[in-house]
């Protein structure tokens, strides 16, 4: 079963510092081909102006580049909702897609809805993600419309965990270091 368009929420047992308390939007997932996604809640200290000046007026707040994951960290990916010029939009999941960042922004170009720029991505080989989910390293959750452009990315992990069913929601109160509880 494909989880494309859904969120991966890192569980406390994941044990990988690259993904500690992350929320990953899966943009592509096929058990036979692997999975590809972007970490939504890792804003960097780098402003969009520093990396892609021409896009600085187009991006959603807070106007910084996000760290999309530990894979291919030199690649810049623009994720947004459909709404800009169709010839520059590549749909991925629902109304989400990538925008071609290599073409210059026209002076009268309308803002791309919810545009965020990500350096790097997250990827899994065939069967790897399924094994990690089965081992309890990830919870799979439905994405809410505001998750992608949340005004407070540092709190996204807790917000998504609070929406999980049953006792899983309790983990939202877990301190970063459970031994400090």
- Supply the pLDDT for residue 138: 96
Token pair for 123: 């990827």
The one-digit pLDDT tens for each residue of the chain (181 residues) are: 889 999 999 998 888 889 999 999 999 999 899 999 999 999 999 999 999 999 999 999 899 999 999 999 999 999 999 988 888 999 988 888 899 999 888 888 888 889 999 999 999 999 999 999 999 999 999 998 889 889 899 999 999 999 988 877 677 666 666 566 5
Token couple for 98: 């990538």
Alpha helices, DSSP H, located in 8-165: 48-52, 128-134, 156-163
The Cα 94–Cα 82 span in angstroms is 9
Gap between the Cα atoms of 137 and 24, Å rounded: 13
- CATH fold for domain 7-180: VC0467-like (3.40.1740)
Q: What is the pLDDT of residue 176?
A: 63
Structure tokens that stand for 37 in this block: 């996604």
How far is it, in rounded angstroms, from Cα 120 to Cα 77? 8
Backbone angles phi, psi at 82, to 5 degrees: -55, 140
* Whole-structure pTM value: 0.91
Bond before 62 cis per omega within 30 degrees: yes
The per-residue pLDDT for 95 is 87
| Confidence (pLDDT) at 53 | 93
Domain ranges of the chain: 7-180
């Amino acid at each position: 079963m494909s989880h494309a368009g859904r969120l991966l929420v890192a569980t406390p047992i994941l044990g990988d510092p690259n993904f500690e308390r992350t929320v990953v939007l899966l943009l592509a997932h096929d058990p036979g081909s692997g999975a590809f996604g972007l970490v939504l809640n890792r804003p960097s200290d780098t402003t969009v102006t520093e990396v892609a000046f021409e896009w600085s007026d187009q991006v959603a707040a807070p106007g910084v580049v996000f760290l999309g994951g530990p894979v291919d960290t030199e690649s810049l990916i623009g994720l947004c909702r459909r709404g800009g010029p169709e010839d520059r939009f590549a749909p991925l999941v629902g109304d989400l897609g990538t925008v071609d960042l290599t073409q210059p922004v026209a002076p009268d170009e309308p803002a791309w809805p919810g545009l965020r720029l990500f350096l790097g991505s997250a990827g899994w080989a065939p069967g790897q993600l399924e094994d990690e989910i089965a081992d309890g390293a990830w919870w799979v959750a439905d994405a809410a419309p505001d998750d992608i452009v949340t005004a407070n990315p540092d709190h996204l992990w807790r917000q998504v965990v609070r929406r999980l069913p049953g006792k899983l929601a309790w983990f939202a109160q877990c301190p970063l270091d459970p031994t400090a509880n």
